[in-house]
Amino acid sequence: MAADASAGPGAPPPEVAAFLHHLQVEKRASAHTLDAYRRDLAALAEWAAAQPDAPAPATLATAQLRAFVAAEHRRGLSPKSLQRRLSACRSFYRWLLRHGRIVADPTLGIRAPKAARKLPQVLDPDEAKALVEVDTAAPLGLRDRAMLELLYSSGLRVSELCGLRWRDLDLAEGLVNVLGKGARQRVVPVGSHACRALAEWAAEAGAAPDAPVFPGRGGRPIGPRAVQLRLRGLAQRQGLFKRVHPHLLRHSFASHVLESSGDLRGVQELLGHADIATTQIYTHLDYQHLARVYDDAHPRAKRRKP
């Protein structure tokens, strides 16, 4: 049941609270996604409350939403932030329209300023190799090696890595079953180096099927923040002074496989893109083709010939 939106100062308007409840319960949005929507719609509600007659966000017209975007732009928001804010508004008003709470979508025709496309930073293959080959004799060395190899081997999001249980891994076949954004599952290949590192870590950790692959305090799954901090320290220890974070390894995975294969669709399928249109394009891709793309292209997937 949705929380009472009027239950105190700072609470969202009723329609916004109901929409956030829909995202959390029906769409199973991540905490990060919910926080982003909450912030963006709180900015909309705050702007509306400061207007003459303080209209509710659900009653705003197209001209008022244009004024909101312009006000945020004057306030110094970057084009990328404005695009995200407008995207949250679009999702909110489309939900209102589907449920018969408004008769037209006021966001139609509204465009945010174009943001300059920023290419993600990546590690080159030598840097990636230097990063993942940490000293396994160091404290938590086997865990760190397995964690880094898997991130780079399979291009996982940090949330996907943290949520893994041993039952999700099939090291004999070199596969991992991943629960991605929107509770969508995908199967991703795991390279031979990562399989060996995970097998060594499993022998030390015990590897009970329901246990987290990478436990934190109290045996609970390690948190994304802990992984970020660990990677930063490991990168410095390995002599890399770039800003190393889990998503950098995901970018590097994608860049290196795409660079070698030229197969954009295969790479996007391996990454588990959240965009519905993109996902639909790759629905009929044959999984064996994806595995061949991966084995032929990823620097640490190739099996050594006897």
Catalytic sites, residue numbers:
157, 181, 247, 250, 273, 282
Residues 190/169, Cβ–Cβ less than 8 Å: yes
Cα distance between residue 197 and residue 184, in whole Å: 26
> What residues form DSSP beta bridges with 272?
none
Alpha-carbon separation of residue 288 from 63, 168, 271, 294 (angstroms): 51, 19, 16, 10
Cα distance between residue 141 and residue 234, in whole Å: 10
Residues 118/222, Cβ–Cβ less than 8 Å: no
Q: Output the six-digit token pair for 206.
A: 């015990």
Residues 146/100, Cβ–Cβ less than 8 Å: no
Q: Produce one character per residue of 151-165: b if its CB has 16 or more CB atoms within 10 Å, e if not.
A: bbbbbbbbbbbbbbb
Query: In the block, which residue shows the tokens 């404005």?
Result: 82
Q: What SS3 state is found at 43?
A: helix
Phi, psi of 74 (to 5 degrees): -65, -30
Q: What SS3 state is found at 297?
A: helix
SS3 content of the chain, % helix, strand, coil (to 5): 55, 5, 40
Q: Output the six-digit token pair for 255.
A: 């860049």
Residue type, 34: L
Cα distance between residue 3 and residue 98, in whole Å: 21
Residues 205/143, Cβ–Cβ less than 8 Å: yes
Residues 249/151, Cβ–Cβ less than 8 Å: yes
